[in-house]
């Protein structure tokens, strides 16, 4: 049961970071895109998906099995140049381990640093704090890709680095965050559930700050 004082406890958002398609790397970029009503989609690059392939046409079939229109034409893709800014040693990773880390988790670590900057915190100041981490993620693309690699070409890092728990665990471990950490998958509501759990952690005094 939640006490009245706990229910009324207000929670402040003190920092934000984001990454979206269309070279949107910050909240300011996002605001400008919204102001301009900009569509950040583009034609699907062939190296991401061959729209002329048989498999794609299968997705474009109507219920009666006929091709009436090609539905897949555009998509929303993150900029590839962001990976050039990831420095493994900064996060205590070797080059070998970094190559096996889920790209989503690498991006998450980069964005966490941006989040700290936006909130006015240094890495040293956040270290050892009662900060909880709640991450919603349901993509398993990296795991599926890794399992297709021939065993002799896999490193000892590939096994654990394909698992979703690493999304939250990496932040807690690398930045020495001393609160609860949870990676959760509840499909499309994962992010909303993560926010809900973060607020609960604050209101029940499990953490002083939450990501």
d(CA 113, CA 134): 16
d(CA 176, CA 122): 13
> Are residues 159 and 102 in contact, defined by beta-carbon separation less than 8 angstroms?
no
CATH of 4-11+81-210, one of 1.20.1080.10, 3.40.47.10, 3.30.450.20, 3.90.800.10: 3.40.47.10
Q: Is the pTM of this model over 0.85?
A: no
pLDDT mean over 132-142: 86
Average model confidence (pLDDT) across the chain: 83
When mean pLDDT is compared over 6-20, 40-54, 130-144, 165-179, the highest value belongs to: 165-179
**What is the sign, positive or negative, of the torsion defined by CA atoms of 138, 139, 142, 147?**
positive
Mean pLDDT lowest for which of 8-17, 118-127, 157-166, 198-207? 157-166
Q: Classify residue 10 by burial, with Cβ atoms within 10 Å: 0-12, 13-18, 19+.
A: exposed
pLDDT digits (tens, 9 = 90+) for 36-90: 999 999 888 877 777 666 565 565 566 665 655 556 678 888 887 776 778 888 9
Residues of the chain within CATH 3.40.47.10 domain(s) are 4-11+81-210
What the block records as the tokens of 191 is 């992010």
């Amino acid at each position: 049961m939640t006490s009245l004082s706990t229910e009324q406890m207000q929670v402040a958002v003190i920092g934000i970071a984001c990454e979206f398609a269309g070279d949107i790397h910050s909240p300011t970029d996002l605001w400008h895109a919204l102001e301009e009503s900009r569509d950040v989609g583009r034609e699907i690059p062939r190296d991401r998906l061959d729209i002329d392939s048989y498999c794609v046409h299968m997705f474009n079939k109507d219920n009666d099995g006929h091709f009436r229109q090609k539905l897949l034409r555009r998509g929303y893709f993150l900029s590839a140049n962001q990976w050039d800014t990831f420095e493994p040693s900064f996060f205590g990773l070797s080059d070998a381990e970094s190559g096996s880390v889920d790209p989503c988790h690498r991006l998450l670590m980069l964005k966490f640093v941006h989040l700290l900057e936006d909130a006015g915190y240094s890495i040293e100041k956040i270290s050892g704090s009662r900060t909880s981490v709640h991450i919603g993620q349901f993509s398993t693309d990296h795991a599926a890709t890794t399992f297709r690699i021939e065993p002799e070409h896999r490193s000892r890092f590939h096994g654990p680095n394909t698992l979703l728990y690493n999304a939250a665990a990496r932040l807690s471990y690398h930045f020495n965050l001393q609160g609860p950490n949870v990676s959760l998958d509840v499909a499309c509501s994962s992010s909303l559930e993560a926010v809900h759990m973060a607020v609960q952690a604050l209101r029940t005094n499990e953490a002083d700050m939450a990501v």
